[in-house]
Structure 1
Amino acid sequence: MGKSLISSEKINKGLRVPHVWTIILFCLVLGGIMTYLVPAGVYERVTVDGRQLIDPDSFHYVAQTPVAPFDWFVSIIDGLTGSMAIMSMIWFTIASTDVYTESGTLHKMVGWIMKVCRGNYLLIMGALMAFFAVRGAMGAFELHIPFVPITIALALACGCDVMTGLAIAMVPTFVAFAYGPINVYTVAVAQGIAGVPVYSAMGFRVAVWLVLMAATFWYVLRYASRVRKDHSISPTGFENPSAAKIDIEAIQQEKMTGRQRLLTVMLIATIGLQMAGPMLWGWGFAQIGALWLISGIAAGLVAGFTNERICEIMGNSCAGIFSGVICIGLARSVSVVLTNGNILDTIVYGLSIPLQQIPAAVSAVGMLFIQALLNFFIPSGSGQATVAMPIMAPLADVVGLTRQTAVMAFQLGDGLTNMIMPTTGALFVYIGVAKISYSTYFKWILPLFLTLVCIAVVSLLIATSIHLGPF
């Protein structure tokens, strides 16, 4: 969902993408019609270690139970109420992060990083990329757009080009978001729907994330080093109007106040608890949302904001992401209709027939590319998870994959394609700020994108071979 906050408008010449709500509503109507046409069927559910799984050999057809058109829209209300815990977690996480941002802490952190690196341009770029990568792993996506003029100015000051400046902020954000171990928009939502513990398989997930980030850092920093020595290889040039307003020296000289130092510690502690809570104390969406709500209120008080100011920041933040968050409830209504019409299991059964004839590892890779294709039509991470995982999770049971592997295939297929997908609105905002055309950017990023897809495929093969769990 993080990437859907910018509405789907005319984002490329000749391409007009409907609003994501319209796309999901179309899926809802299509699902309702299918309940009249697709034979109803069910799998028997069995309880294993307290978990409900389907018995892959128990599918059988039942009497047709079509869903009336009026009930298609009733399902939207059911979807919204059933998704409230997930939606609240996302609202409070982003709203509280905005309180930290409004305090000036994050911008001062960027200046501190640049100062500590003492003029070593590769070290400065690498440190800033790490900063954006960590926040991207949490679910930051559009939030780094305001930093693009700063990173472009920095790149130009270091003798690099505009593409380098864009890449410093944008590329680690997109890649980290794609497989962020604690991404509230994708992994938390998908794992919750799939019925696996939130933030489970953390060790394996972090390892894959680090490999993806290592490839990303190498690609960007290698390019920066090469273009600094040979200006002729730059596709963008070395001038950019948006960079002229940024005073790099002033940013480096700004010092954190005592309040901002404390806020930095509080933010790091909150992120740590967000990771530890689900693993150590079994936290779910409600507990994570409550953690960030407490953290945001405390941050506002430490920053010296009045209660009116804290409420204003959080209210504006929630309003800004309302469209994207509502996608979760809207998308859930599709599975409500398919379930009430008893055709969800029929769809799973139909998909499982060809997949059962091929190795499980190939099925996992196939899921990745299905999710990549779906990302074109539903440019919303959490919305796509809510549509796809009710099908992919039981399908994994049938074809012999773990549900954790299905979640992994969803997240990689959805996330990596954001780097090139023309329906990703935020992509065009980033390159628009840098005054770079989509075709120029596409040619530059394509080698890295293909490399990351290869890493994703290998990761899925490993996950399949080790039966990545807990289930």
Structure 2
Amino acid sequence: MPELAKKKKLQFPNVYVILFACAIVAAILTWIIPAGEFERVTEGTITKVVPGSFHLVEQAGQTPWDVFMAVVTGFKKQASLITMVLFVGAAVSLLEASKAIDVGFRKLAGAVKGKEGVAIFLIMAIMSLGGATGVFGNATLVLVPIGILLSLAMGFDRTLGFAMIFFGSFSGFNVGWANFGTIGLAQTIAEIPIFSGIGARIIFHIVNFLLCYGFVMLYFNKIKKDPTKSLNYESGMELKDYMGDLNAAVDGETKLTTRQLLSLLAGAAGIIAVVIGALKFKWGADQISATFLLVSLVIGLLCGFGVNGSFSHFIKGCSGVVMAAFIIGFANSITVLMSNGKILDTIVYYLSIPINQFGAVAGANFMLLANIIINFFISSGSGQATAVMPIMVPIADLTGITRQVVVQAFQFGDGFTNCIIPTVGSLMGGLGFAKVQYGKYLKWSMPLILVQIVLSFVAITVLQSIGWTGF
């Protein structure tokens, strides 16, 4: 019994404990870091920080009660994303109840038996292209459950399915060359042509994709050789508790019924609608949620569940992903506290000061470092662009750093750490779907992130040394 108690005592805290602890730290920082603000102006649809306008304001330290209120506010601010996670989970649950995914993915897994590396490459390549062009924003989280189900059908774990989708998408998003919400916005604020410098960024994209694909394949080969290396494995688990059924994956006798085929087509139509809507009509989480509500009901009726049964399955499906959805609300409370405590602008301002003290190459590298640090506080790419670019562009002009390099320092700094910071909804929601502890994920993914960051410093050094303008 004492040994069991000791084992429990040494357990890594779950993600809610980690996020709540981070919220407490954020509240403490609002009493330590001076409160300050920049003046902002709106030009068209873009709100910019006015350089040189930073000023201290009255301290707005957050109290213990404010921490609990921030959690509530975090849920309210992320209500659209939380709803999307619930509704997507419900749609996938209905497909599972129809057995359509089970049968369809078994046949697909049987077809790629022995060629899993090729299948993973194609899935990640499609996701990467979507990430680079800004198509897969919220859609990344939508597709994680599909990737998980495919991985289980192939006889592997939930983590592999998450990794195929998440690292596929972010291998493109992190260095995206045609994403208006990040690179396009940053270039607009820097007053250089949108998507200029695309040649170099496509090279960065290819390199980053190959890194991420290689990383995922290392994991694939590791769990194929020894399933207990799975991030989903816990001591005492049986193989079936954390890995898919490999024998079922090669069963070629199973056939889809007409109802199941129509259900799969309805699910595919929903995904296609989401991609087109995001690309052409700038759909957000609300439109995606409505789409999957419709898809859920259509699947339920096609499978003969009836109206009552369809809604019962829908609610049951939502309940299965509540943990993933709640992570997003808890994570946002950290940003709420720092924003209410008025320390976000202060952090940005003081990180920008040392850049003036360095030469162009060293200054460009410090810009990258500053953006990496700032991303832990402002995880939104567009939010970070509007906060840092108006400050860093004038500094760059004074120190000889090219504006294109400033944009690239922002993109690298904002991009790579998105895969580890706990305030990124798609990461924490995806881990919730995959049922992976954040601590385990962090330990596993850090080598990749560190390699990416080191290469980004090398790239910034080279780009500034040659005076890269992107033209």
TM-score normalised by L of structure 1: 0.63
* 1:412 equivalent in structure 2: 416
* 1:348 equivalent in structure 2: 348
Structure 1 residue 45 corresponds to structure 2 residue 46:
no
Structure 1 residue 176 corresponds to structure 2 residue 168:
yes
Cα distance in structure 2, aligned partners of 1:461 and 1:102: 54
CA contact (8 A) 1:40 1:65 kept: yes
Q: Write the deviation string for residues 81-114 of structure 1: whole angstroms up to 9, x where unpaired.
A: 2222222222222322332233223233323335
Post-superposition shift, 1:128? 6.1
C-alpha RMSD over aligned residues: 5.4
Distance 1:427 1:280, change over 3 A: closer
CA contact (8 A) 1:80 1:332 kept: yes
CA contact (8 A) 1:190 1:385 kept: no
Distance 1:286 1:429, change over 3 A: closer
Unaligned runs of 5+ in 1: 1-9, 154-164, 229-233, 375-382, 432-437
Cα distance in structure 2, aligned partners of 1:207 and 1:257: 45
Structure 1 residue 59 corresponds to structure 2 residue 21:
no
Distance 1:353 1:80, change over 3 A: same
> Secondary structure of the residue that 1:326 maps to in structure 2?
helix
Unaligned runs of 5+ in 2: 129-135, 189-193, 229-237, 394-402
Q: Which amino acid aligns with 2:324?
A: G
Identity of aligned residues (%): 21
CA contact (8 A) 1:44 1:54 kept: yes
Q: Which amino acid aligns with 1:363?
A: M
Q: Write the deviation string for residues 28-53 of structure 1: whole angstroms up to 9, x where unpaired.
A: 33333333333221100011222212
Structure 1 residue 127 corresponds to structure 2 residue 114:
no
CA contact (8 A) 1:170 1:430 kept: no
* Match among 16, 33, 44 for residue 28 of structure 2: 33
Distance 1:248 1:274, change over 3 A: same
Cα distance in structure 1, aligned partners of 2:101 and 2:65: 48
Q: Write the deviation string for residues 394-430 of structure 1: whole angstroms up to 9, x where unpaired.
A: 1344334888985774453242799xx9xx9779978
* 1:394 equivalent in structure 2: 387
> Secondary structure of the residue that 2:154 maps to in structure 1?
helix
TM-score normalised by L of structure 2: 0.63
Cα distance in structure 1, aligned partners of 2:85 and 2:460: 27
* 2:265 equivalent in structure 1: 265
Post-superposition shift, 1:276? 2.2
Post-superposition shift, 1:368? 4.9
* 2:235 equivalent in structure 1: none
Post-superposition shift, 1:281? 2.0
Q: Write the deviation string for residues 267-324 of structure 1: whole angstroms up to 9, x where unpaired.
A: 3332222222233223222222212222222222223223333333332332233233
Q: Which amino acid aligns with 2:96?
A: T
* 2:324 equivalent in structure 1: 324
Q: Which amino acid aligns with 1:45?
A: R
Cα distance in structure 2, aligned partners of 1:32 and 1:253: 59
> Secondary structure of the residue that 1:342 maps to in structure 2?
coil
CA contact (8 A) 1:141 1:177 kept: no
- Farther off after superposition, 13-22 or 281-290: 13-22
* Match among 89, 98, 101 for residue 93 of structure 2: 98
Structure 1 residue 334 corresponds to structure 2 residue 334:
yes
Q: Which amino acid aligns with 1:336?
A: V
Q: Which amino acid aligns with 2:271?
A: I
* Match among 68, 73, 76 for residue 71 of structure 2: 76
* Match among 24, 40, 63 for residue 19 of structure 2: 24
Structure 1 residue 299 corresponds to structure 2 residue 303:
no
Post-superposition shift, 1:352? 2.2
CA contact (8 A) 1:142 1:426 kept: no
Cα distance in structure 1, aligned partners of 2:446 and 2:67: 41
CA contact (8 A) 2:158 2:434 kept: no
Cα distance in structure 2, aligned partners of 1:335 and 1:213: 30
Residues 427-438 of structure 1 aligned to structure 2 (within 5 Å):
none
What is the total number of aligned residue pairs between the two structures?
404
- Farther off after superposition, 29-38 or 409-418: 409-418
Post-superposition shift, 1:455? 7.3
CA contact (8 A) 2:368 2:413 kept: yes
* 2:276 equivalent in structure 1: 276
> Secondary structure of the residue that 1:300 maps to in structure 2?
helix
Cα distance in structure 1, aligned partners of 2:75 and 2:84: 14
> Secondary structure of the residue that 1:252 maps to in structure 2?
coil
CA contact (8 A) 2:127 2:165 kept: yes
Structure 1 residue 289 corresponds to structure 2 residue 289:
yes
Distance 1:405 1:71, change over 3 A: same
Cα distance in structure 2, aligned partners of 1:224 and 1:59: 49
